[in-house]
Amino acid sequence: MGEKGVCCGWGCRELVLLGLLLGMTTAVVALSVVMLTEDAAETTPDPVTTPPPTVPPHSFRIGVGRADVTGPVGDVPLMGYASLDQTAGGIHFRLFSRAFIVDDGASRVVFVSADIGMVSQRLRLEVLNALKEKYGDQYNQANVVLSGTHTHSGLAGYFQYTLFMITSKGYIKSSIEPIVNGIVKSIEMAHTSMRPGRIFMSKGEVEESNLNRSPQSYMNNPEEERQKYKSNTDKEMVVLKFTDINGDGMGMLSWFAVHPVSMNYTNRMVSGDNLGYASYLFEQERNLNALPGEGSFVAAFASSNLGDVSPNTRGPYCVNTFEKCDYLNSSCPIGGTKMCVGFGPGDNMFESTRIIGDHIYRKGKELYGNAGQELNGSVHGAHQWVNMTDVTVQINSTHTATTCKPALGHSFAAGTTDGGGDLNFTQGAVEGDPFWDGIRDALLGAPSNETQDCHEPKPILFNTGEMNWPLPWHPAIVDVQLITIGSLAIVATPGEATTMAGRRLREVVKQELQSKGGFSKAEVVIAGLCNIYTHYITTYEEYQVQRYEAASTIYGPHTLSAYLQHFGGLARAIAEGKEAEVPQGPEPPFFSDKQLFSLLPNNPVDKKPASTNFGDVLEQVYPVYKVGEVASVTFVAGNPRNSGNMTDNTFVTVERFHNSTRTWTLVHTDASWETRFHWLKGSGGLSNTTVEWHIPTAAQTGIYRIRHFGHYKQRKGITGSTILPYNGTSDEFKVTKTYWSRATG
Ligand SMILES: *[C@@H]1O[C@H](CO)[C@@H](O)[C@H](O)[C@H]1NC(C)=O
Ligand SMILES: *[C@@H]1O[C@H](CO)[C@@H](O)[C@H](O)[C@H]1NC(C)=O
Ligand SMILES: *[C@@H]1O[C@H](CO)[C@@H](O)[C@H](O)[C@H]1NC(C)=O
Ligand SMILES: *[C@@H]1O[C@H](CO)[C@@H](O)[C@H](O)[C@H]1NC(C)=O
Ligand SMILES: *[C@@H]1O[C@H](CO)[C@@H](O)[C@H](O)[C@H]1NC(C)=O
Ligand SMILES: *[C@@H]1O[C@H](CO)[C@@H](O)[C@H](O)[C@H]1NC(C)=O
Ligand SMILES: *[C@@H]1O[C@H](CO)[C@@H](O)[C@H](O)[C@H]1NC(C)=O
Ligand SMILES: *[C@@H]1O[C@H](CO)[C@@H](O)[C@H](O)[C@H]1NC(C)=O
Ligand SMILES: *[C@@H]1O[C@H](CO)[C@@H](O)[C@H](O)[C@H]1NC(C)=O
Ligand SMILES: *[C@@H]1O[C@H](CO)[C@@H](O)[C@H](O)[C@H]1NC(C)=O
Ligand SMILES: *[C@@H]1O[C@H](CO)[C@@H](O)[C@H](O)[C@H]1NC(C)=O
């Protein structure tokens, strides 16, 4: 399999037949089934008694919390571009879960935004199980929303449906555990920090930070609908400001529609991408003198209707010939889809991440500063499980239609201009290709006529809804959920809604809420990548064009209509105060750990070059750096997977010497934007770590050193192994403001 991945949002190149299908028949037969202990099921919950509310009128009790969800940063594939070769190798900056709880005295709601690709149904069920053990029914299906920022540089491995397990190298216990623990811990921290407070809202436009990557699909929406909006992406950011009763800031929560794919598929370091960086900047500013990830102020930049929205603002062009890509199929005359790549605004992915993250942060800060519209009243939560494979929708006064069993179309394999597929698929395919269809039929069997007809005009590539071995390839039972905080409604979308799909959802929810007296002026936001991943949600009209987003709208052309019906129903229930009466719907499966499989082999024992030790320096720092330069040191290393639980810990430190006390103080960790921890895997168990410190121009001059902490695996006895810690330290070096002629050595 080649070097690069595919797409954004979720694509697939490897996924495409070759790797996948060949892999399927052989690999899955030989899959190493992870034997895991059964859950300690159904212990009697230990309900926490809430103190009687002593809330002053028109205020809420609110709590905020943040916790690390980074996970094992070696070998595990990154989640997003669906490239099995894009495996983790270190940390750009750490990932966090950020939780917000609002209680009106009678009910409460929880919103979590985590720096992960998306929330999976498995992840949500595991989090809810853990919350139930701690808090009984206080936190439940209806009042907890879990949303992923959609960074494409978080770890995979936390899914239970077969397609996602294949692109994740299976269900990886060491990958899902830190995410579950981090999300639960962030909620716990919010729970214990609860106190009377107030919430203010504000809105504004973020300029020059997103563009539509499928404008030809957008243009297929009705003209009179398009005329209601001035742009083919939503520019608006909505910000909530949380303060305590004295007006002191506790946190901010915002939504803005952009794909966190500023870091492209060549990146191996775990990263929060543009939205994660915006949170980082906001929290660093508010939590004075705190290291990243510490401090009580929590700032979340959550995902929204980003389905067709790219951060690569210079747009796509052919990287080989510098021509424009074909407008309709995003293909290049030479090299096809793969050569058509979106870039900008920076000259490399780190710069692009920094610029987009900075734009988003600045607008968030401005809106936080002027947030004046107070949210008051009550909070509500409504949730339902829906069998999305056969929802009947009314398409006009005389006709109905239904949603379909899940399937992915040919254009899914083309990827997007944020990361194209390797094979000769192109976006906009409304006809199958005999070559690929032949391979599909031979390996997987042809899709039924019923499913093909249902998905028209999508030519089906992966007939996932009719593939159930060893487990269903895609979900049938999907979470729909809506929560409200005063006049604000948060639509928890189970995937990636496009710009126009998001607008229609907001409209319907708003109308339903306002149709009853309770909500005279509702504001509606779309929260993306919530609760379960079902790929994309396009409008019916966009679906006809069959670009990547439409090919990935897995329940067919009426997917959005079905959601409009169900989210509208939840809004009506809340407006009528009948959310408790919403039928729960069919429960989704929770496959036992024994049914899930892992394709990630155990890592071998670590080796080191002759006459070295783990932690020894292979390439030393220079003696002097000027601010703005990059200090770099390479150590003999072990696989970071050995390090098990590095939650709230660090692989890297940058330390500054204090002459008066003869001590070193911590300046940066691996959670810092300024440090890059690259783990490079060699052959036969050899590996090394290069730590870079991108010295900020504001750095204090003085004497510094860089340290690296890790663990290596050693053979013990004949078959056993043991894991031991190591550390390494660079030479001391000087940072100056003026020195610049270091020359070359
Ligand atoms: C893309 O469309 C152009 C015409 O718009 C066509 O010439 C080209 O062959 C198409 N490319 C592929 C790979 O289908
Ligand atoms: C990804 O980013 C790297 C570094 O910024 C750049 O060199 C490369 O061309 C980019 N590749 C793609 C396909 O975007
Ligand atoms: C809620 O806020 C609105 C405007 O911010 C205000 O007009 C209204 O009186 C408030 N209601 C309550 C119950 O405080
Ligand atoms: C969903 O609906 C389909 C079609 O009615 C049905 O065959 C299937 O069993 C349902 N799935 C679940 C998990 O209830
Ligand atoms: C309703 O939709 C069907 C199917 O698209 C179409 O055949 C029919 O003419 C439509 N009826 C009305 C009243 O628009
Ligand atoms: C893709 O490649 C296969 C094999 O080379 C070929 O048979 C098929 O026609 C190609 N499809 C397109 C759309 O170019
Ligand atoms: C599917 O449709 C094709 C032609 O439309 C027909 O030849 C074939 O028999 C159908 N298959 C089944 C299983 O009904
Ligand atoms: C990992 O370490 C953190 C911080 O030391 C601790 O809170 C957490 O419980 C640990 N998790 C596991 C699974 O050991
Ligand atoms: C550091 O402190 C020692 C005494 O502890 C002193 O001799 C030396 O000059 C100091 N160096 C600098 C650079 O200040
Ligand atoms: C670090 O490991 C990589 C991958 O094996 C290798 O290419 C590189 O030369 C190593 N660096 C050093 C300084 O040994
Ligand atoms: C670093 O490693 C040395 C040698 O194994 C050990 O003595 C020391 O405690 C370690 N330091 C830290 C901070 O872990």
What would the mean pLDDT of 165-182 be, rounded to a whole number? 96
| Predicted pLDDT at 659 | 94
Q: Which long-range contacts (CB under 8 A, 24 or more apart) does 450-457 make?
A: 451/404, 451/405, 451/407, 454/402, 454/403, 454/404, 454/405, 454/556, 455/404, 455/407, 455/409, 455/556, 455/557, 456/557, 457/430, 457/544, 457/546
In a domain, 671, yes or no: yes
Ligand nearest to C-alpha 661: 9
**φ/ψ of residue 295, rounded to 5:** 100, 155
Mutating to test ligand 3, I would choose from 55, 104, 202, 374 the residue with most ligand atoms within 8 A of its C-beta, which is 374
| Predicted pLDDT at 444 | 86
725 falls in which pLDDT band (50, 70, 90)?
very high
Per-residue tokens: 538: 């396009």
For the Cβ of 370 lying below 6 angstroms from any atom of ligand 8, the answer is no
- Contact present, 697 and 630 (Cβ < 8 Å): no
For the Cβ of 433 lying below 6 angstroms from any atom of ligand 6, the answer is yes
Mutating to test ligand 4, I would choose from 161, 385, 387, 388 the residue with most ligand atoms within 8 A of its C-beta, which is 387
Residues 644 and 723 grouped into a single domain: yes
Residue 46 has pLDDT above 90, yes or no: no
What would the mean pLDDT of 408-431 be, rounded to a whole number? 93
Expressed in angstroms and rounded, the spacing between residue 479 Cα and the centre of ligand 4 is 15
Residues 572 and 630 grouped into a single domain: no
Across all residues in the chain, what is the average pLDDT? 91
In a domain, 273, yes or no: yes
| Predicted pLDDT at 266 | 96
What would the mean pLDDT of 132-139 be, rounded to a whole number? 98
Residue 50 has pLDDT above 70, yes or no: no
741 falls in which pLDDT band (50, 70, 90)?
low
Which residues form the domain of 531?
14-307+357-388+474-581
For the Cβ of 271 lying below 6 angstroms from any atom of ligand 1, the answer is no
Residues 506 and 650 grouped into a single domain: no
Expressed in angstroms and rounded, the spacing between residue 635 Cα and the centre of ligand 10 is 10
* Ligand 2 atom 1, closest CA: 264
| Predicted pLDDT at 519 | 87
| Predicted pLDDT at 299 | 98
Alpha-carbon distance 599 to 605, whole Å?
18
233 falls in which pLDDT band (50, 70, 90)?
very high
40 falls in which pLDDT band (50, 70, 90)?
very low
Residue 587 has pLDDT above 80, yes or no: yes
Element holding 462 (H helix, E strand): strand 460-462
Residue 115 CB contacts under 8 Å (≥ 6 apart), including other chains: 69, 95, 96, 97, 148, 149, 151, 154, 272, 275, 276, 279
| Predicted pLDDT at 644 | 81
**What is residue 534's DSSP assignment?**
-
CATH number, domain at 706? 2.60.40.2300
CA 30 to centroid of chain Cα atoms: 30
- Contact present, 241 and 252 (Cβ < 8 Å): yes
Per-residue tokens: 123: 């992840």
Burial 69-95 (b: 16+ CB within 10 A, else e): bbbbbbbbbbbbbbbbbbbbbbbbbbb
Q: Which residues pair with 370 in a beta bridge?
A: none
Out of 83, 97, 310, 352, the active site residue is 310
In a domain, 448, yes or no: no
Residues 672 and 560 grouped into a single domain: no
Residue 122 has pLDDT above 70, yes or no: yes
**Residues with beta carbon inside 6 Å of ligand 5?**
395-399
154 falls in which pLDDT band (50, 70, 90)?
very high
| Predicted pLDDT at 646 | 81
What would the mean pLDDT of 594-620 be, rounded to a whole number? 96
For the Cβ of 351 lying below 6 angstroms from any atom of ligand 2, the answer is no
Alpha-carbon distance 388 to 77, whole Å?
29
Expressed in angstroms and rounded, the spacing between residue 430 Cα and the centre of ligand 6 is 15
Burial bucket for residue 469 (CB in 10 Å: 0-12, 13-18, 19+): exposed
CA nearest to 93, candidates 260, 343, 307, 341:
260
What would the mean pLDDT of 32-38 be, rounded to a whole number? 32
Residues 34 and 145 grouped into a single domain: yes
Give the rounded percent of residues in the chain with a pLDDT score beyond 70: 91
> Higher model confidence: residue 424 or residue 129?
129
> Higher model confidence: residue 329 or residue 25?
329
| Predicted pLDDT at 739 | 65
What would the mean pLDDT of 57-71 be, rounded to a whole number? 91
Alpha-carbon distance 112 to 183, whole Å?
8
What would the mean pLDDT of 654-680 be, rounded to a whole number? 97
Q: CA separation (Å) from 157 to 4, 21, 84, 298?
A: 19, 19, 12, 27
Residues 123 and 43 grouped into a single domain: yes
For the Cβ of 422 lying below 6 angstroms from any atom of ligand 6, the answer is no
Number of other residues whose CB lies within 10 A of the CB of residue 674: 17
Strands 144-148, 108-114: parallel, antiparallel or unpaired by DSSP?
A: parallel
Ligand nearest to C-alpha 423: 6
In a domain, 440, yes or no: no
In a domain, 524, yes or no: yes
**Residues with beta carbon inside 6 Å of ligand 3?**
58, 373-374, 376
CA nearest to 356, candidates 408, 314, 328, 394:
314
For the Cβ of 648 lying below 6 angstroms from any atom of ligand 8, the answer is yes
397 is catalytic: no
Burial 13-46 (b: 16+ CB within 10 A, else e): bbbbbebbbebbeebbeeeeebeeeeeeeeeeee
Which numbered atom of ligand 10 lies nearest the CA of 687?
2
Alpha-carbon distance 531 to 494, whole Å?
6
- Count the domains in the chain: 2
Residues 124 and 270 grouped into a single domain: yes
| Predicted pLDDT at 422 | 86
| Predicted pLDDT at 8 | 41
Residues 64 and 187 grouped into a single domain: yes
- Contact present, 600 and 652 (Cβ < 8 Å): no
pLDDT digits (tens, 9 = 90+) for 99-115: 999 999 999 999 999 99
740 falls in which pLDDT band (50, 70, 90)?
low
Per-residue tokens: 377: 């009243």
Residues 576 and 638 grouped into a single domain: no
Expressed in angstroms and rounded, the spacing between residue 486 Cα and the centre of ligand 3 is 9
Q: Cα angle vertex 512, ends 510, 513, to 5°? A: 65
For the Cβ of 476 lying below 6 angstroms from any atom of ligand 4, the answer is yes
Per-residue tokens: 311: 């951060």
Alpha-carbon distance 154 to 415, whole Å?
19
Strands 211-212, 309-310: parallel, antiparallel or unpaired by DSSP?
A: antiparallel
In a domain, 450, yes or no: no
* Ligand 10 atom 7, closest CA: 682
Give the lowest-confidence range in 66-70, 111-115, 432-436, 615-619: 432-436
pLDDT digits (tens, 9 = 90+) for 267-318: 999 999 999 999 999 999 999 999 999 999 999 999 999 999 999 999 999 9
Element holding 32 (H helix, E strand): strand 32-33
Alpha-carbon distance 714 to 720, whole Å?
9
Strands 298-302, 249-255: parallel, antiparallel or unpaired by DSSP?
A: parallel
> Higher model confidence: residue 154 or residue 5?
154
| Predicted pLDDT at 57 | 56
Expressed in angstroms and rounded, the spacing between residue 415 Cα and the centre of ligand 2 is 16
| Predicted pLDDT at 520 | 84
Residues 555 and 644 grouped into a single domain: no
* Ligand 5 atom 7, closest CA: 399
Residue 20 has pLDDT above 80, yes or no: no
CA nearest to 11, candidates 269, 317, 381, 259:
259
Residue 483 has pLDDT above 80, yes or no: yes
Residues 236 and 119 grouped into a single domain: yes
pLDDT digits (tens, 9 = 90+) for 328-368: 999 999 999 999 999 999 999 999 999 999 999 999 999 99
- Contact present, 676 and 90 (Cβ < 8 Å): yes
Residue 6 has pLDDT above 50, yes or no: no
682 falls in which pLDDT band (50, 70, 90)?
very high
Expressed in angstroms and rounded, the spacing between residue 353 Cα and the centre of ligand 9 is 41
Residue 33 has pLDDT above 50, yes or no: no
Alpha-carbon distance 309 to 9, whole Å?
10
Ligand nearest to C-alpha 81: 2
Give the lowest-confidence range in 426-430, 496-500, 583-587: 426-430
Q: CA separation (Å) from 467 to 156, 171, 474, 594, 681?
A: 22, 18, 8, 19, 36
516 falls in which pLDDT band (50, 70, 90)?
confident
Ligand nearest to C-alpha 475: 4
In a domain, 679, yes or no: yes
Length, in residues, of the chain:
745
Residues 540 and 643 grouped into a single domain: no
Domain end point (choices 555, 581, 607): 581
187 falls in which pLDDT band (50, 70, 90)?
very high
In a domain, 124, yes or no: yes
Expressed in angstroms and rounded, the spacing between residue 697 Cα and the centre of ligand 9 is 25
Element holding 729 (H helix, E strand): strand 720-729
| Predicted pLDDT at 27 | 35
Which of helix, strand or coil describes residue 88? strand
